[in-house]
């Protein structure tokens, strides 16, 4: 990975750690399949009342299976494939504009020392997470 891209990725990790951001990639399809499958089995076993009972049980089961899968954003960022890292890099460098830095420590200091720039970079990061990763964002437990 190019040094400047690595610097930007580490900046994103620092910002998301500072804000205690966690994300979960949505697994609604898995939950819907469990709910639908349970309703189907309930219908086979119990007729119309079985559909209702199977749907309720499947809904709870599907909800339980897909909940609690939030992970720290830095962990997810470091696991991104190179093409996704490149997209994020482009989004963040567009916000940074012509900001010049020599190493990651200086980049982090420059961004963290400027509240407006920090908000803009954080907004670009969260926008990327929502649009590209289709992830749900949660702040500080």
* Token duo for residue 138: 């949660």
* Token duo for residue 86: 């490149």
21-25 and 135-139 strand pairing: antiparallel
Average pLDDT for residues 48-73, to the nearest whole number?
74
- Decide if pLDDT at 134 tops 50: yes
- In this prediction the pTM is 0.67
- Decide if pLDDT at 27 tops 70: no
For 17-76, give the secondary structure using H, E and C. Answer: HHCCEEEEECCHHHHHHHHHHHHHHHHHHHHHHHHHHHHHHHHHHHHHHHCCCCEEHHHH
Q: How far apart are CA 33 and CA 49, in angstroms?
A: 20
Q: How would residue 118 be classed by pLDDT, with cut points 50, 70 and 90?
A: very high
In the chain, domain spans: 3-24+71-139, 28-68
* Token duo for residue 125: 């990061």
pLDDT for residue 13: 92
- Decide if pLDDT at 66 tops 70: no
The dihedrals phi and psi of 72, each to the nearest 5 degrees, come to -60, 135
Residue in the structure block whose two tokens are 């020392």: 113
Average pLDDT for residues 47-68, to the nearest whole number?
74
């Amino acid at each position: 990975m190019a040094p400047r891209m690595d610097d930007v990725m580490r900046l994103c990790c620092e910002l998301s750690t500072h804000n205690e951001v966690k994300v979960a990639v949505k697994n609604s399809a898995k939950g819907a399949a469990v709910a639908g499958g349970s309703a189907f089995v309930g219908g086979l076993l119990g007729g119309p009342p079985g559909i209702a009972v199977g749907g309720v049980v499947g809904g709870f089961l599907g909800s339980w299976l897909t909940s609690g899968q939030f992970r720290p954003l830095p962990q997810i960022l470091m696991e991104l494939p190179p093409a996704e890292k490149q997209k994020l890099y482009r989004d963040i460098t567009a916000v940074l504009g012509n900001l010049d830095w020599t190493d990651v420590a200086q980049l982090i200091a420059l961004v963290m020392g400027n509240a407006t720039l920090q908000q803009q970079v954080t907004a670009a990061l969260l926008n990327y997470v929502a649009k590209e990763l289709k992830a749900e964002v949660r702040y500080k437990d």
